[in-house]
Amino acid sequence: MTDLTAARRGTSRAITYLVLAVIAVVFVLPFLWLVLASLQPGAALSAKPEWTFSTENFRAVLNVDTVYRPMLNSVVISGGTALLTVLVAVLAAYPLSRYQSRFGRSFLYIILFATGLPITAVMVPVYAMYSRINLIDSIPGTIAFMTASSLPFAAWMMKNFMDGVPISLEEAAWTDGAGWFQSLHRIVLPLMIPGLTVVFIFTFVLQWGNFFVPFILLLSPEKQPASVTIYTFFSQYGQVAYGQLAAFSILYTLPVVVFYSALSRVLGGAFSLTGAVKG
């Protein structure tokens, strides 16, 4: 290697790091307001650095109507959805992963096809159906639809995780006459705790941020999750109480951050959601 090529390598390395630095700055800029405004009393809609910080905004929003009840609703709705989804997905994944058949294959195709359908568009007929059977403004009704909408992807992930559990372990149980429920419950499930955790967290986080479905299906403010009430807060007080909106936004985003970090722990070392996504 001559000095010239070494120098050129050095330059291209420097350029690469420069571009990466610019990308990092551009990605961090929109977050700035959120963090700064939440800590500044009387914050305006700009991230002007005023070096006075206080927790006033947090104290102002930490009450039952603004934060506690909507967050509790979010926990109930996303948690209920995630639990139900894991349950139904694990049941569906067992025959799909264990038996080869034309029926199972077509079912997999249907599931993959359904993951691509725009939920926003499915929402219009579902609303009409719900208004006919009086399920509008019902939390269980909302959970049922959210479970159905997160099921296709969850079942797909679950099937892939289950494929990783060797079937040889079950064969002994089968010869002893164990049915599918016993071998699923006793042998497969204990071996795929990480997979179950990933599907649960993934569904939970996705539904925690789901705005459109509860926005359409839940009307009374006392039933709405934080994703919807934070929008109401924004349209009502966004112009005057930016600081409080920012504080609420941070409190609402916090569980997502915690869960994502937990997810990367479960999946081991580096953040490898791609692994889960790819199956």
Partner 1 sequence: MTPIAPLRPTAVRAVDPAPRRRPRYWLSRFAPLAPALLLLLIFFAGPMLWSLYTAFTNLALTGSSTVDFVGLDNFTRLAHDPSFLHSLELTLVFVVGSAVIGQNTLGLLIALLLRGRSRLARSVVTGLVIAAWAVPETIAGFCWYSFLYRTGTLNALLAHLGLAQNWLYTTPMLAVILANVWRGTAFSMLVYSAALSEVPPELTEAAAMDGASGWQRLRRITLPLIRRAIVSNLMLITLQTLAAFGLIYVMTGGGPGTASQTTPLYMYQQSFKFYQLGYGTAMALVLLAIGGLFSAVYLRLIRLED
Decide: is 242 part of the binding site for partner 1 (CB under 8 A). yes
When asked if residue 141 is in the footprint of partner 1 (CB under 8 A), the reply is no
Q: Is residue 257 left, alpha or beta, with left meaning phi > 0 and alpha meaning psi from -120 to 50?
A: alpha
Query: Is residue 47 a contact point for partner 1 (CB under 8 A)?
Result: yes
12 binds partner 1 (CB under 8 A): yes
CA torsion 76-77-79-81 (nearest 10°) is 140
How far is Cα 85 from Cα 252, in angstroms, rounded to an integer? 23
Contact call for residue 67 and partner 1 (CB under 8 A):
no
Among 109, 186, 219, 240, binds partner 1 (CB under 8 A): 109
Residue 7 within binding range of partner 1, rule CB under 8 A: no
Distance of alpha carbon 148 from alpha carbon 185, whole angstroms? 23
Query: Distance between CA 191 and CA 197 in Å, rounded?
Result: 12
Question: 60 vs 135, which CB is nearer to partner 1?
Answer: 135
> Tokens standing for 5?
């090529």
Using CA of residue 15, residue 16, residue 19, residue 25, what is the dihedral sign? Answer: negative
| Site residues (CB under 8 A) for partner 1, limited to 68-87 | 87
Residue 117: how many other CB atoms lie within 10 Å: 11
147: contact with partner 1 by CB under 8 A: yes
Rule CB under 8 A: say whether 110 interacts with partner 1: yes
User: What is the enclosing helix (H) or strand (E) of 263?
Assistant: helix 242-266
Stretch of 55-63, 65-73, 128-136, 189-197 lying at the interface with partner 1 (CB under 8 A): 128-136
Here the tokens at position 199 are 């599907």
Is residue 237 a contact point for partner 1 (CB under 8 A)?
no
R_g of the chain, CA atoms, integer Å: 24
Residue 137 has phi, psi (to 5 degrees) of 65, 30
44 lies in the binding site for partner 1 (CB under 8 A): yes
**What is the distance between the alpha carbons of residues 166 and 172, in angstroms, rounded to a whole number?**
12
Residue 243: CB partners within 8 Å, gap ≥ 6?
37, 38, 40, 41, 42, 43, 56, 57, 60
Task: Give yes or no for residue 249 binding partner 1 (CB under 8 A).
Answer: yes
E strand or H helix at 185? none
Count of residues near partner 1 by CB under 8 A: 114
User: Is there binding between residue 254 and partner 1 (CB under 8 A)?
Assistant: no
Q: Is 273 a binder of partner 1 (CB under 8 A)? A: yes
Residue with Cβ nearer partner 1 (56 or 163) = 163
208 in contact with partner 1 (CB under 8 A): yes
User: Using CB under 8 A, which of 114, 135, 187, 262 touches partner 1?
Assistant: 114
Among the listed ranges 52-60, 61-69, 190-198, 255-263, the one in contact with partner 1 (CB under 8 A) is: 255-263
Smallest distance from partner 1 to CB 187, Å: 13
- Interface with partner 1 by CB under 8 A: which range of 55-63, 64-72, 109-117, 192-200? 109-117
